[in-house]
Amino acid sequence: MAGNFELQGRHGKSGVRVSRVWRRPAAAGGHVIVEWSVAVSVVSDCLPSYTSSDNSAIVATDSIKNTVYVKAKECTEVVSMEEFAVILGRHFTSLYPQVSEATVTIVERPWERVVVDGKPHSHGFKVGVEKHSTEVIVKKSGSLLINSGIQGYSLLKTTQSGFEGFVMDRYRLLPDTRERIVATDVTAWWRYPFEHISQLPSKPFCFTQRYQDVKKVLSETFFGPPDVGVYSPSVQNTLYLMAKEVLTRFPDISSIQLRMPNLHFLPVNLGSKENPLMKFADDVYLPTDEPHGTIEATLSRPMSKL
């Protein structure tokens, strides 16, 4: 309490950019590099700093920033961003008696190993597109929450998509169709089942590999078999099937949230019916990203919530 009021505060450091290189020999897979944007937010018992001039309980945000670099240096073996977030969360909640909770959010800039003459390069990388992200919450009690995700995963099919049978009223202008381009920028968040530090596997769990696995399942379900594809009657149905397949394939994921904006490709039709400039046959389009449809849903196992 602050006087007659209830005060809830937290502080931290955002936008801490850190890159770590592990220089392994080519026979061991070559060098590994990560580039992360780290945000740390702590819940701390430092009420006097808000209500008076007493800053003695504050862990300075500059100190939080410095800790990120020190802990990165201490990771002599390759770690995933989820593991690094847990390391940071445990550090702040164990070292400082006044810190009861730490939330660590990391977004990765995806440096991908290049292939030269069909062989992976030992120390050459290029920037990818979609971004791996995580949010980890660690409490002093050892309580743990790990969410991971993907941002900016752009997927498109030029056929095998339709939308029909939806609400018919005076506001509807869209006709039914069984043939259209479907495109989206997938944002996904999934939750791991570990609820306490003690539940983390003694053998390191490969979060990075699971991220790659989830990304692969999402795209395979969206596109279908490479020779024939799969028909999508709506973005909603495709979203559900993608989420369902992730939970079916990976028992270590307890829930997944998908956000899939419907990015429109509008068939070009120049002129009028009476005086067309040129006849188009659904082969030239105007790509648009605004306005766009917003479709999202969360699929969870029983007793699990994202």
pLDDT of 304 above 70: no
pTM of the predicted model as reported, rounded to 2 decimal places: 0.92
pLDDT, residue 306, reads 58
Cα separations in angstroms, 202 against 50, 197, 198, 199, 206: 41, 11, 9, 9, 12
What is the 8-class DSSP label of residue 208?
A: H
**Tens of pLDDT along 9-55?**
899 999 999 999 999 999 999 999 999 999 999 999 988 888 888 99
Residue 99: exposed, middle, or buried by beta-carbon count in 10 A (0-12, 13-18, 19+)? buried
Residues annotated within the binding site for O2 are 61, 262
**Tens of pLDDT along 81-138?**
999 999 999 999 999 999 999 999 999 999 999 999 999 999 999 999 999 999 999 9
Residues annotated within the binding site for 5-hydroxyisourate are 61-62, 163, 180, 235-236, 262
Q: Is 53:71 a contact under the CB 8 Å cutoff?
A: no
* Catalytic site includes residue 140: no
Q: Is 134:146 a contact under the CB 8 Å cutoff?
A: yes
Instruction: Tell which residue, 110, 107, 115, has the closest CA to residue 129.
Output: 110
* Catalytic site includes residue 11: no
Cα separations in angstroms, 19 against 60, 86, 113, 115: 22, 17, 15, 22
pLDDT, residue 305, reads 57
Instruction: Tell which residue, 110, 139, 142, has the closest CA to residue 126.
Output: 110
| Max CA distance (Å), the chain | 79
**Tens of pLDDT along 50-93?**
888 899 999 999 999 999 999 999 999 999 999 999 999 999 99
Backbone angles phi, psi at 100, to 5 degrees: -100, -20
| Better pLDDT: 280 or 159 | 159
Catalytic residue (choose from 61, 71, 123, 215): 61
Residues annotated within the binding site are 61-62, 163, 180, 235-236, 262
* Catalytic site includes residue 221: no
**Tens of pLDDT along 172-223?**
999 999 999 999 999 999 999 999 999 998 777 799 999 999 999 999 999 9
Instruction: Tell which residue, 185, 186, 184, 204, has the closest CA to residue 194.
Output: 204
Average pLDDT value for the chain? 94
